[in-house]
Amino acid sequence: MRRAAHGDIPELVRLRALLFAELDEDGSGRTSGDAGWRDALTAVLKEQLTAESTRVLVVDGDRGLAACGIGTVQQRLPGPHLPNGLAGQVLGVVTDPAYRRRGHSRAIMCGLLGWFRECETARVDLYASRDGEPLYRSLGFTAHRDPSLCLRL
């Protein structure tokens, strides 16, 4: 496992597309807003790969990347359960189907969790797929008492 570099961006986009295709709601393999998101993702990754608030970890495969995971740290308002206001977010961990069941997602998550600890985040949030939930629970993630709600604008 290693930190992603600029040369990994095309593979990061490929793996993110794979993640979205697997998580799509209607089974079509297409996500809403399909047009242009890959170019936008490429531009954001070019900017964020070296940002202190973002960590992108990858595992190399024989041809391209086998897996990747992205984490961010956000400054939120401090409070009783978030004393320094620092919160982590796992934005997605995905493994190419040819490399699954080899521990790559666990290694990436352990790497991200270590980084979150170094950053002194008070909590880490993520959205789990049905397949990924057992891994996250084994690492100590639990359901939050507040419901997760979303409004798409």
Banded model confidence at residue 25, pLDDT cuts 50, 70, 90 = low
Asked whether the beta carbons of 90 and 70 are under 8 A apart, the reply is yes
Total of domains in the chain: 1
Residues 64, 61: Cα–Cα separation, whole Å: 5
148 within a domain of the structure (yes/no): no
**pLDDT higher for 144 or 99?**
99
Residue with tokens 């202190």: 52
Condensed to tens digits (0 to 9), the pLDDT of residues 75-94 reads 999 999 899 999 999 999 99
145 within a domain of the structure (yes/no): no
Residue 6: CATH number of its domain:
3.40.630.30
65 within a domain of the structure (yes/no): yes
CA diameter of the chain: 47
* CB within 8 Å of 61: residues ≥ 6 apart: 67, 96, 98, 99
109 within a domain of the structure (yes/no): yes
DSSP annotation of 12: H
DSSP annotation of 111: H
99 within a domain of the structure (yes/no): yes
Is 90 exceeded by the pLDDT of residue 29?
no
90 within a domain of the structure (yes/no): yes
Structure tokens at 73: 């740290």
Banded model confidence at residue 66, pLDDT cuts 50, 70, 90 = very high
Domain that residue 107 falls in: 2-138
